[in-house]
């Protein structure tokens, strides 16, 4: 079978191309609308007026491809640019306080500093409003909220971090991809009213909250209960941060993140339990329909989170494809599911979860049969299933490795150890957890059952903690570019497509050479391009002189060749947070693969013919200096900026993230009145002094 003969492959590729063009170019929605309209007219004309002619078939095929390119770009523009007229983006401006009424809809995992929720805006300044928002409460305020609570606060809505330093994660872009266009930090004194009305919750959210409440009344210990909440109900907020970090370091964090892995296991469990239906007429159809219904019921149980809805949608198509039992049907199912999801929301293409889910499943489908064929089929049931888990885990990890390194900058080499254990018992854990919840809801005594689960989950927590202690197996601070990620996937695809035709199914499922193809040559060419690109990056010697954005501190980065210097001033930052900030700043894009020296920030710096004067909270400066190139205001110095401009006559004034926002706003107005260039890193991000 020639894979491009399946039309949905070409349609999906065209649709993705249109999304990417819209995302990375300045092509307007009008152009996409015009192109798709003309392409549709050509397709209809070729089909009805020139049937059964070769050139009409070619014209029809290419017109349909262009049509879906246009539709992809048009839908992306529609999702990203058009908001309702009553959306809070149109009613409230950044940094302006307002009376905001909001309702908490989803609870996220807390961190050391904040408790986090998604919320729906109801009113702004008593005017009806809509839109999702991220809400953060200080952990130190000891405020305990739950989904369904309605709050009225007097605060401002501001933007999330948009990758202000080179190489930073663009959190603002991620939030906008899930229709969250702002965030609000709620301080305790700013809360005007709290209304705990649960009646307006969706019925499935109310059902999930009741299950969470019922679990709290059992004999389960805190962390075993938190793991069950994460595994079955998709709620990770009660998992201890140390436990989460141990799972991450051991390479098994996906066990806690309810997603495609769990839905795939549920699919296999349901197929096994319902295989008796295959004996009847239309058994495959009935089994598929029942499995799909049960999978969506599971999604309802978890609160219909976007990741679960995406996974259930994908595996609903896979369930049908597996029962069709035709060659390539799983690939067809994945293609159709991806197309449907992207038609619903084209922005999913750029979401990490979407990318990881599909690369993992595709890697398993492509690579697992190849790895399985390297040895004869084991006779022992235990060894056979252990080998199956090993090959599935290896395939999935190889598939997601480039993306994991690109997004998370680390790769745990212990993933095989952790996954070999946990994936082997995960189906049993899921079944036991669901059975326990069922028993609790039926009001049957669950004391002994709870004790057994406490033992099992504490054993898992201890095992993961032990695995994560081997820190030298965790590769950190790994960085690859988008170009390198694409080349790595092309290499993997070429190798997989080279080996798959050689795989001949026999009783032993051994690997045999059948016929040669050119995919290995394609992979070798990509390897050569990858090596050449790496050499090109290394020989690029570029100087940089940056004022970085850092809250509660000041950071200036210098780099040249293989060396870099980081000058810091963080007087009000706690020691543990300072360590984390330094680690993050050392991984700024201009410092990657360089030896970084750290020093305290002097009052004056010169580099590559540029100089900068720093005035911090001490407000000390030399009034004899004149015609200062760049003046940096750090840690909210109490200075008369108008007099400072008169004394130093700066060409450019920079205010970084260590300053209070209200002071930055006043300084900006002063500089505007004095006709002095002013930049604040809250809005501008890192400032390259070599460009000013």
Residue 45 domain flag: yes
Domain of 120, CATH number, reads 2.40.50
Q: Are 182 and 88 in contact (CB under 8 A)?
A: yes
Instruction: Categorize the per-residue pLDDT at 197 as very low, low, confident or very high, splitting at 50, 70 and 90.
Output: low
Query: Looking at the structure, do residues 569 and 504 belong to the same domain, yes or no?
Result: no
Residue 480 domain flag: no
537 versus 153: the higher-pLDDT residue is 153
Instruction: Categorize the per-residue pLDDT at 490 as very low, low, confident or very high, splitting at 50, 70 and 90.
Output: very high
Total domain count, the chain: 5
Query: Looking at the structure, do residues 282 and 388 belong to the same domain, yes or no?
Result: yes
Query: Looking at the structure, do residues 183 and 317 belong to the same domain, yes or no?
Result: no
Q: Is the pLDDT of residue 105 over 60?
A: yes
Query: Looking at the structure, do residues 230 and 359 belong to the same domain, yes or no?
Result: yes
Residue 39's pLDDT is what? Answer: 92
Model pLDDT for residues 198-233, shown as the tens digit of each residue? 546 677 777 787 888 888 888 888 899 999 888 888
Model pLDDT for residues 84-103, shown as the tens digit of each residue? 888 888 776 656 788 999 99
Q: Alpha carbon 513 to chain centroid distance?
A: 40
Query: Looking at the structure, do residues 424 and 296 belong to the same domain, yes or no?
Result: yes
**Region 517-527 average pLDDT:** 86
Residue 503's pLDDT is what? Answer: 54
Model pLDDT for residues 420-429, shown as the tens digit of each residue? 778 778 888 8
Query: Looking at the structure, do residues 557 and 663 belong to the same domain, yes or no?
Result: yes
Q: Is the pLDDT of residue 52 over 90?
A: no
Residue 162 domain flag: yes
Residue 188 domain flag: yes
Residue 47 domain flag: yes
Query: Looking at the structure, do residues 235 and 361 belong to the same domain, yes or no?
Result: yes
Q: Are 599 and 585 in contact (CB under 8 A)?
A: no
Residue 482 domain flag: no
Residue 284 domain flag: yes
Q: Is the pLDDT of residue 504 over 60?
A: no
Model pLDDT for residues 305-324, shown as the tens digit of each residue? 777 888 888 888 887 777 76
Cα 487 to Cα 481: distance, rounded to the nearest angstrom:
10
Q: Is the pLDDT of residue 523 over 80?
A: yes
Of 504, 522, 539, the domain-final residue? 539
Percentage helix, strand, coil, to 5, in the chain? 55, 15, 25
Q: Which domain holds residue 601?
A: 544-691
Cα 94 to Cα 169: distance, rounded to the nearest angstrom:
21
Residue 487 domain flag: no
Round to the nearest angstrom and report the end-to-end CA distance of the chain: 58
Instruction: Classify 540 as helix, strand or coil.
Output: coil
Q: Is the pLDDT of residue 56 over 70?
A: yes
Cα 609 to Cα 691: distance, rounded to the nearest angstrom:
12
Residue 274's pLDDT is what? Answer: 86
Cα 256 to Cα 227: distance, rounded to the nearest angstrom:
7
Task: Give the phi and the psi of residue 557 in degrees, each rounded to 5.
Answer: -115, 130
Closest to 38 in 3D by CA, of 73, 64, 18: 64
Instruction: Categorize the per-residue pLDDT at 11 as very low, low, confident or very high, splitting at 50, 70 and 90.
Output: very high
Q: Are 232 and 437 in contact (CB under 8 A)?
A: yes
Instruction: Categorize the per-residue pLDDT at 22 as very low, low, confident or very high, splitting at 50, 70 and 90.
Output: very high
Cα 528 to Cα 14: distance, rounded to the nearest angstrom:
28
Of 81, 112, 145, the domain-final residue? 81
Cα 364 to Cα 330: distance, rounded to the nearest angstrom:
11
Residue 152: HSE in the Cβ half-sphere, 13 Å Cα cutoff: 9
Q: What is the mean pLDDT of the chain?
A: 83
Query: Looking at the structure, do residues 633 and 674 belong to the same domain, yes or no?
Result: yes
């Amino acid at each position: 079978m020639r894979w491009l003969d399946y039309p949905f492959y070409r349609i999906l590729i065209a649709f993705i191309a249109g999304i990417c063009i819209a995302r990375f170019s300045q092509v307007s929605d009008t152009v996409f609308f015009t192109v798709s309209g003309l392409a549709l007219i050509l397709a209809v004309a070729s089909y009805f007026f020139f049937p059964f002619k070769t050139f009409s078939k070619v014209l029809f095929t290419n017109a349909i491809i262009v049509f879906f390119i246009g539709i992809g770009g048009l839908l992306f523009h529609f999702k990203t640019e058009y908001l309702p007229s009553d959306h809070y983006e149109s009613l409230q401006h950044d940094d302006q306080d307002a009376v905001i009424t909001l309702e908490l809809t989803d609870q996220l995992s807390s961190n050391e500093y904040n408790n986090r929720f998604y919320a729906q805006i109801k009113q702004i300044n008593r005017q009806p409003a809509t839109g999702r928002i991220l809400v953060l409460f200080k952990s130190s305020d000891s405020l305990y909220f739950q989904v369904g609570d309605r709050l009225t606060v007097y605060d401002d809505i501001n933007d999330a971090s948009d990758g202000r330093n080179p190489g930073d994660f663009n959190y603002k872009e991620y939030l906008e991809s899930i229709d969250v266009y702002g965030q609000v930090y709620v301080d305790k004194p700013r809360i005007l009213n709290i209304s705990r009305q649960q009646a307006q919750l969706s019925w499935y959210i109310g059902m999930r909250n009741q299950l969470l409440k019922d679990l709290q009344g059992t004999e389960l210990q805190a962390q075993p209960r938190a793991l069950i909440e994460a595994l079955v109900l998709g709620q990770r907020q009660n998992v201890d941060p140390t436990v989460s970090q141990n799972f991450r370091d051991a390479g098994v964090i996906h066990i806690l993140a309810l997603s495609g892995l769990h839905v795939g296991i549920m699919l296999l469990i349901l197929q096994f339990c319902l295989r008796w239906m295959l004996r009847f007429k239309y058994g495959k159809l009935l089994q598929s329909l029942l499995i799909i219904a049960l999978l969506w019921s599971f999604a309802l149980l978890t609160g219909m989170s976007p990741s679960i809805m995406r996974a259930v949608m994908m595996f609903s198509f896979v369930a049908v494809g597996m029962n069709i039992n035709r060659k390539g049907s799983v690939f067809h199912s994945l293609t159709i599911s991806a197309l449907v999801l992207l038609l619903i929301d084209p922005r999913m293409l750029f979401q990490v979860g979407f990318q990881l889910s599909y690369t993992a499943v595709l890697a398993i489908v492509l690579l697992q049969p190849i790895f399985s064929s390297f040895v004869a089929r084991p006779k022992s049931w235990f060894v056979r299933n252990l080998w199956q888990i090993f090959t599935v885990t290896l395939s999935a990890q190889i598939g997601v490795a480039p993306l994991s390194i690109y997004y998370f900058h680390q790769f745990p080499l212990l993933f095989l150890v952790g996954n070999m254990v946990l994936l082997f018992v995960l189906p049993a854990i899921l079944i036991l957890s669901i059975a326990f919840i069922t028993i609790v809801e039926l009001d049957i005594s669950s004391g002994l059952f709870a004790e057994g689960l406490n033992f099992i989950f504490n054993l898992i927590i201890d095992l993961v903690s032990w695995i994560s202690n081997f820190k030298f197996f965790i590769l950190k601070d790994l960085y690859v570019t988008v170009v390198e990620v694409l080349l790595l996937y092309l290499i993997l695809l070429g190798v997989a497509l080279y080996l798959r035709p050689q795989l001949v199914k026999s009783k032993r499922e051994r690997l045999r050479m059948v016929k040669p193809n050119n995919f290995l040559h394609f992979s070798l060419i990509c390897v050569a391009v990858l090596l050449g690109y790496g050499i090109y990056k290394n020989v690029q010697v570029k100087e940089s002189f940056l004022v970085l954005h850092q809250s509660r501190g000041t950071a200036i980065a210098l780099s040249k060749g293989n060396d870099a210097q980081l000058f810091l001033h963080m007087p009000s930052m706690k020691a543990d947070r300072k360590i984390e900030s330094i680690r993050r700043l050392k991984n700024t894009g201009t410092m990657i693969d360089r030896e970084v020296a750290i020093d305290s920030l002097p009052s004056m710096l010169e580099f590559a013919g540029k100089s900068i004067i720093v005035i911090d909270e001490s407000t000390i400066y030399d009034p004899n200096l004149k015609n200062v190139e760049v003046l940096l205001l750090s840690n909210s110095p109490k200075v008369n900026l108008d007099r400072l401009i008169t004394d130093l006559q700066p060409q450019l004034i920079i205010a970084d993230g260590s300053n209070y926002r209200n002071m930055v706003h006043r300084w900006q107005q002063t500089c505007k009145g004095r006709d002095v260039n002013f930049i604040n890193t809250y809005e501008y991000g890192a400032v390259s002094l070599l460009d000013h």
